[in-house]
Amino acid sequence: MKEEATKRAQELDSIDSLSPFRSLFHFPQKDGKDCIYLCGNSLGLQPRNTSSFINEELKNWQERGVEGHFTGDKPWVSYHKNAKPSLAKIVGAQENEVVAMNNLTTNLHLAMASFYQPKGKRTKILIERGAFPSDFYAVYSRIENSGFDPNENLIELEPADGSDYLSTEEIVSKISELGDELALVMFPGVQYYTGQFFNIKSITEAAHAVGAKAGFDLAHAVGNVPLQLHAHDVDFAVWCTYKYLNSGPGGVGGLFIHQRHGENKELTRLSGWWGHEAEGRFKMDNEINPIPTVDGWQLSNVNILSHASHLASLKLFDEAGIVKLRDKSIKLTDFMEELILNSEVLKGQVKIITPSKHAERGAQLSVFLINHGKSVFEFLVNQGVILDWREPNVIRVAPVPLYNSFSDAVKFVTILEEAILHEG
């Protein structure tokens, strides 16, 4: 079977129009060879053009000093605008609805300051049970700082039947049940543990139907799956850029605010200097006049080096296109799933807890070890496979279409089989 799978993978790689992008990334090395890197859902690889983008701004700083804010091809005072066209295409938004700034959790706090305004009966926030800790902490503290008890107002939804993931019907039903007590639905685009891609459109519609707002953490979705935030009427969304967007460890975050909210200058927000109308920003008159777009949520001037790294990766996304990336992602993830499910060695030893439907997953398979523990993961790492471990007993595998190949999938499954056999 291995020979047949290897041959098939080579054929698929030979007709893959995105295969040239693989050479545009740096791969970690193990014993002088490229590692099998399947961890883009945690930290994306470094594009080879990243250093040139950063060095350009270091040179500007060296040669221009403070004048770099207003001179050169990309003046720093407006540097954040360079990412807007690319981000708008990736998340399905208008350019005035997206901005790269801060980090994910900071942006989440800023968004919730505007969109969680508890009043009367409407005080509850709905999240999924087992939400990523940073989301849980942010939501918990937002409720608490608003003067309400998180134990009563933070609702965590889990599958009623004990299955691995929530159905859209369960989520919509819970939203309807909470009704006029619900202030905000705060869900991920893709759940970090199971890899489930939630139905953003249906969740948003259900939230709006009961008078609540809908916000999403897109950390594992942005650059992974096509999104339509504007068309789906999402109120706000936040994301990081160091996973599928390959913008570097701790890289700049992102924020989406729907146009109808951006235009509402009366909407409550935590103000910062950089969210003030650019034309009057340097008059220093301390008159608050927020920019009537998502830019009105900015706090401070741009972290130029982080943004430069971000732009380097976005250039590759512009060239590849999110539609083509999604097409390859489906084929690549399907291929890896097929190899796992058809393996006699892995049968009864592992369980894929990521949904099998294309519409319900991105470039991730969460593989649950039924009879073994972390030693299997450690075996994989020792063999040059870089991926991600999550308690309890889950190996998260991310076949990223920008730089992973079908041959990578075969190599991973082969080494996973070796690990299981080694354990006995």
**Structure confidence by residue, pLDDT tens digits, 24-40:** 999 999 999 999 999 99
**Strands 33-34 and 29-30, how do they pair?**
antiparallel
- Going along the chain from its start, the domains and CATH numbers come out as 2-34+322-423 (3.90.1150.10), 53-318 (3.40.640.10)
- pLDDT over 70 at 391, yes or no: yes
Task: Note the Cα 234 to chain centre separation in Å.
Answer: 16
The whole-angstrom separation of Cα 107 and Cα 372 is 39
The whole-angstrom separation of Cα 48 and Cα 50 is 6
pLDDT in tens, 287-330: 888 999 999 999 999 999 999 999 999 999 999 999 999 999 99
Q: What is the largest CA-CA distance in the chain?
A: 72
Place of tokens 């409407």: 122
User: What strands lie across the sheet with 388-390, from one edge to the other?
Assistant: 350-352, 365-369, 394-397, 388-390
Q: Is 120 exposed, middle or buried (0-12, 13-18, 19+ CB in 10 A)?
A: exposed
406-423 vs 2-14: helix crossing angle, rounded to 10:
160
Structure tokens at 160: 């009623």
pLDDT in tens, 234-276: 999 999 999 999 999 999 999 999 999 999 999 999 999 899 9
- Average pLDDT estimate for 62-73: 97
- Report the amino acid identity of residue 256: F
Whether the model pTM is above 0.75: yes
The whole-angstrom separation of Cα 307 and Cα 251 is 8
C-alpha torsion sign, points 369, 375, 377, 383: negative
| Side-chain half-sphere CA neighbours of 270 within 13 A | 14
299 neighbors 101 (Cβ within 8 angstroms): yes
User: What pLDDT does residue 160 have?
Assistant: 86
Structure tokens at 258: 């729907």
User: What pLDDT does residue 1 have?
Assistant: 62
The whole-angstrom separation of Cα 245 and Cα 228 is 17
